Amino acid sequence: MKYQREIEAEIDVAGMLTFISQSLDCETFAALNPGRPSPLSTRQSVDLVTTRGKNSRQKSPPLTMKIQGKSSVEIYGDEMDLREIIRKENLDAQEEALYVCDLSDIVNKYYIWRECLPRVVPFYAVKCNDNPFVLKLLAALGTGFDCASKGEIKKILSMGVDAEKIIFANPAKPNSHVLYAAAKGIATMTFDSDFELYKIAKTFPDANLVIRIRCDAEKAQCPLGQKFGCDAELEAPGLISLAKELGLKVIGVSFHVGSGCEDFPVYERAICAAKTLFKYAKTLGYDFNLLDLGGGFPGDKGTSLKEVADIINKALDKYMPDSAIHIIAEPGRFFVSSAFTLICKIYSKREIVQNDKLEKTMYFINDGVYGSFNCILYDHRLAAPTYITRADNTLYNSSIWGPTCDALDQICETVKLPKLNIGDYLIFENMGAYTLPIASPFNGFPLPRVKFFMRASDETANNIF
């Protein structure tokens, strides 16, 4: 670690809004808000990335981003040294686990997205990780936001983000949430049932509606089709017709193939189905101009966006070649999964011995399934611990347990580890998605702290923070 920068915060909302609004091009604004004048119509749109070599990017425009309160962002060189972080943060004397968040990783993901999916505007899924640093960084970079509730909308609006940069992507919304969206000018929202259409007709008849269809991946970490999305052939045409009868505006189609998708060709199938509905809507007098690709994009270390991006780009060229059709998506884990690493401390252990032979060692750490590792239960994730290298790396059967009194608080049932001691640390990578937002301090155990870092050479992050 080279040095530490202290940031005394003052909110400069006007400056932040200028950059955020510039990052949404006029045409995308028009797609999300038909009939409303674009605030960018008299300003030049900013393109963060036009050309990018192997080790070069276009110089980032000036960004204004302030964080409330007094915060610290640690600056590192080429690599983060976890040993040094443990020492500097004095984790030996701390009860809670520690998240290490690499803000530069999020910035890099943004550039990768722009390079791989140039037609697709990302609307970050707030539910995935709603840490204020993450949200403000993404807002300054120019992403929109996928919100699923009044609470999430409030959080994004409180940062000064324009209402036009939010899609209310929840097909089943409480009345009060629809009314709140209407009051705040959040016009674009999804639906997948006749009941939702009748509700919106009463509460927000001027909404810009997007019909959500079901197109499930054959393999996904979290399938969603059982709960959301109408059948594209059997139900969607009737719902679009009903919307027309009710005098509602439908502007496009959305789908979600499932979070953590591993069946990338499903995107082509979904885009093809959407094209059929675009054609059908035209027979009713609608002129659809928005396609929402949903989420499902990989974000762990070692994964690549290129394979799925190639499939999507070819499908868009084939089925949606018209540049007047605006394409958005709702990536969540893509942006944040690899940016967060969790450092946990072993505070107790137990050896299971049978016939004078060590069968298994149980390790108890200061985070568990009621905390960050809820992702094991709710995100269907497998925890993969690593450890600080030891002189003797002979591996033994081990299990890892969380701190609560619940016997279900098990992180790893069987894992190979060297002999570790109380006070040693286990490292868990790719912990940025669907972890902290769902965690609870059950049994009185504190939630992990989050420490933020950025690369010294990262001009974009340095300009923001």
Q: Which two tokens stand for residue 281?
A: 């809507």
The answer to whether the beta carbons of residues 225 and 177 sit under 8 Å apart is: no
- Separation CA 451–CA 102 (nearest Å): 9
Residues 181, 435: Cα–Cα separation, whole Å: 27
* Residue 256, phi then psi, degrees to nearest 5: -145, 115
Provide the Cα torsion 377, 379, 380, 382; round to 10°.
Answer: -90
236-245 and 266-283 helices, crossing angle to 10°:
40
Q: Tell me the one-letter amino acid at 412.
A: C
Pairing state between β 208-213 and 249-255: parallel
Burial state string for 212-251 with b = 16 or more CB within 10 A and e = fewer than 16: bbbbbbeebbbbbbeebbbbbeebbbebbebbeeeebebb
Whether 405 is catalytic is yes
Identify the three-state secondary structure at position 316: helix
Q: How many residues in the chain?
A: 465
E strand or H helix that includes residue 397: strand 396-401
* Alpha-carbon distances, residue 330 vs 28, 99, 147, 401 (angstroms): 15, 24, 10, 34
253 strand-pairing partners: 211, 291
Report the C-alpha gap between 132 and 64 in whole angstroms.
Answer: 15
User: Which of these is catalytic: 215, 222, 230, 405?
Assistant: 405
Active-site positions read: 405
